[in-house]
Amino acid sequence: MERRRQPPKQITVDSSHEGQRIDNYLLTALKGVPRHHVYRLLRKGEVRVNKGRIRPSYRLQHGDIVRIPPVATDRPHHSIPSPQLAEVLLKSILYEDNDLLIVNKPSGIAVHGGSGIQLGVIEAFRILRPQDPDLELVHRLDRATSGCLVLAKSREALLELHGLLRTNEIDKRYLTLVKGRWQIGSRSIAIPLRKNRLQSGERMVLHDAKGKTAISYFHPVNVCDEASLMEVKLMTGRMHQIRVHAAQQGYPIAGDDKYGDRTFNLKMRSLGLKRLFLHACSIEFAMRGKSHRIVVKAPLPYDLHQVLSRVDLSGDCIHAV
Catalytic sites, residue numbers = 142
Helices (H), the chain: 22-29, 35-43, 83-91, 121-128, 155-166, 241-248, 262-270, 302-310
Instruction: Supply φ then ψ for residue 28, to 5 degrees.
Output: -80, -45
Closest CA to 253 of 236, 275, 280, 221: 275
Which has the closest alpha carbon to 242: 271, 205, 209, 295?
205
Annotate 205-232 with b (16+ C-beta within 10 A) or e (fewer). beeeeebeebbbbbbbbbbeebbbbbbb
Query: Is the CB of residue 158 less than 8 Å from the CB of residue 136?
Result: yes
